[in-house]
Amino acid sequence: MTTKQRFRNKYRLELRENYHEPMHVHFVGGDINAKIDLLTLKIIAGAIPANLKKEVLAWLQENQTNMIEEWKRCQQQ
């Protein structure tokens, strides 16, 4: 598991090694445990409060290409 970005000193985006399709990241912290598809940037499991969701998805959109490449590298380990 690798933390890729922190939000509000409480939440984090994680990539997990040797994981399954679809390409996704985990968004965790407090009582939040969600998965976000890296290709569509849609939440595929769990939920994120609206004000935090906007912030997280904006960051992912800006970093989508790098996150996809990193996800692929993690799966080869």
- Ramachandran angles phi, psi of 56, nearest 5°: -65, -45
- The predicted model scores a pTM of 0.88
Question: With 60 as the cut, is the pLDDT of residue 66 above it?
Answer: yes
Structural domain harbouring 69:
2-75
Q: What is the arithmetic mean of pLDDT over 39-65?
A: 96
User: Over the stretch 15-25, which tens digit does the pLDDT of each residue have?
Assistant: 887 767 899 99
Residue 70: its H or E element? helix 50-75
User: Over the stretch 34-48, which tens digit does the pLDDT of each residue have?
Assistant: 999 999 999 999 999
Q: How many domains does the chain have?
A: 1
DSSP string covering 2-66, please?
EEEEEETTTEEEEE-TT--SSPEEEEEETTEEEEEETTT--EEES---HHHHHHHHHHHHHHHHH
